[in-house]
Chain A
Amino acid sequence: MATFFGEVLSVYSRAVDEDEEELDENEEDEEIRRELEEKREVNLHWSPEVSESLKSGNKLQCSDFILAVGHNAARFLSVYVLTSENWDAVGHASVWNERSRAATGITSEEETACVFYRKKDNPSVLICQVTCYIAEDQLFQWTEKVFDCLQHRELNVTVLSDSSVAEYKTADYLCYSSAPFLRSLHTGAFSGQPVCQSLEQPNIVTGLPAAVLNHCEVHRIATVVYQCYSDVTGPDSVTMETYKPALTKLSKSIQLDPAPSTDVLRKFVRTTNIQSNLYI
């Protein structure tokens, strides 16, 4: 495209990328592509007990699956639910993509980025915290692999997801002062009553919560997603508390702690250190 000043600029489309043409690949290119695909595969690692029960095509009995996507959603579960120490870590998912930190072998970072917990006294309640970035081409795979392990009958899924309020489109700009707030989306099979307003047009949900909703809508699993729009990107106790109403219905089965102690909160909400004093 030529501009008025005589320069020629590349034009980018929001819809399509350039180079849709398929170039002939030689064997080496194909092998590199194959290896890259293998590296990007999502792998689930279960505890020996769970692996045993999943043998020969069996599925995990699951009545409630709670998924937290994002740091504040994950910390909310850590503070309000997982501190009761009634939970066993039963597995994790390893996901590698361009945003993963370069590591030699499996680091503890990778192991804590996507962890599954099961309630000790009620093994049909499963929690998963996802704090790592799952790339666009891995979302479908993650969802299929996880839900392939769970039995679908009478399964209820609740997803808690962090989002920035900058992503929220509304005609009323005053809405931003009421952040953090929740909005919900649910599948056709969900018969309950969401605890907050439904997500208004033209807003959409993307990423892992969207992949889960797509899967559950198509497979008719009762699922509700609570998206929390917050103006704080880092760990924030106010944002975390916003999720509380989302789990009230499940509070008995998961033993939700309505008022965690400040010690527990302090452990999970580290205030961001001042990186530089140049602009106090």
Chain B
Amino acid sequence: MFISSQNSAPSFKDFTLVMPAVAVGNVGQLAVDLIVSTLNMSRVGYIHTDCLIPMTGNNPYATCKEDAEELHTPAEVYTAAELKMAVLQIRAPIIQTKSKKFRQLLVSWIKASGFSRTVVLSSSHAYQRDDQQLQGTPLRYLVTPSLLKVSADALKELGWKEMERVSAFPGLTDANTEPRLYIPGGGITKGLYTDSCAEDLPLAVLLLFCSEGDNIPDAFTLVNHLNNWLHLLENPSQKPNKWKIPTSWSLLFGSGIPPALF
């Protein structure tokens, strides 16, 4: 459940919520890291739950010595009030047997908080794409009927590609198998989307086809794509957006190597 880190509970009414799904390449989470770090968002509370594997560490967005020693938990909420934006960052895997419970927790929190819309940043296994999906952009979107009512025009203008429904058994031309939504490697993305449709929540999913590896470029792709819609960073010139990489992104592939090894 949500616990405020300040003396009073923050208000999220009419805010936009951006959150990641723990998915292949951790792309959503990396993208959210960039948003929090660049917009200098402040933490307003924690999601304290038994559904995530416990982990903890010092401030991953530390900019100076003074704020370096602030303890952070696996799921926290940050806000940028002037942009009417809130961000939920999830830093740990979801315990397998608690996936449904976690989705329900999120849906009820989103409902209770009064967010005007929620955007889920996610990813899916690139190797599972079918022939059609191999061509063109690796970015896809999904939107619940509730959000489609308000954002249909904006989405049309952006010219984004909607996530295709694929047949359950590719190659088998069986009249019984309806094409269905399939997001392999997307974690709770599909479940969260279908739950939100059922609960009539305004929710959008932005996902990227990718593989495990150095997913930093994927994170930049996804966050720039999001920026085209939400305009988090105003960029009058055509130069690339300046996203700030947090200090926690250092040594992603291990410690320093002794030169004597070679």
The interface of chain A, by Cβ under 8 A from chain B, is 1, 11-18, 20, 22, 33, 37, 136-137, 139-141, 143-144, 168-174, 185-188, 198-211, 213-215, 217-218
Contacts and interface: CB of A to CB of B under 8 A. Distances in A.
Contact of A218 (B53, B73, B95, B190): B73
Contact of A20 (B70, B188, B258): B188
B71 A185 contact: yes
Given A137-B97, A173-B256, A218-B73, A13 B25 contact: yes
Contacts of A202: 57, 60, 247-252
Interface in B216-257: 247-252, 254-257
A201 B69 CA distance: 10
Contact of A206 (B53, B69, B188): B53
A15 B54 contact: no
Given A14-B212, A15-B25, A143-B54, 17 more contacts: A11-B127, A15-B23, A15-B93, A15-B212, A16-B24, A16-B93, A20-B186, A173-B256, A185-B57, A188-B5, A201-B60, A202-B249, A204-B55, A204-B57, A210-B56, A214-B74, A218-B48
B22 A203 contact: no
Nearest to A220: B5
22 contacts: A15-B23, A15-B24, A15-B93, A16-B24, A16-B187, A18-B184, A20-B188, A136-B54, A137-B98, A169-B255, A173-B257, A174-B258, A185-B71, A188-B5, A198-B68, A201-B247, A202-B251, A202-B252, A204-B56, A205-B55, A214-B56, A218-B73
Contacts of B257: 173
A168 B256 CA distance: 11
Contacts of B247: 201-202
Interface in B78-117: 93, 95-100
Nearest to B184: A18
Nearest to A200: B58
A15 B96 CA distance: 12
A185 B54 contact: no
Contacts of A22: 100, 191
A200 B255 CA distance: 13
Contacts of A17: 96
Interface size class of B (residues with CB under 8 A): 35 or more
A140 to B, nearest CB: 4
B46 interface: yes
A120 to B, nearest CB: 33
A22 B239 CA distance: 45
Contacts of A213: 56, 71, 73
Nearest to A22: B100
Contacts of A20: 99, 186-188, 190-191
B95 A199 contact: no
Contacts of B154: none
Nearest to B20: A15
A255 to B, nearest CB: 30
Given A20-B187, A185-B56, A186-B71, A214 B48 contact: yes
Nearest to B182: A21
B140 interface: no
Contact of B256 (A140, A171, A207, A215): A171
B91 to A, nearest CB: 8
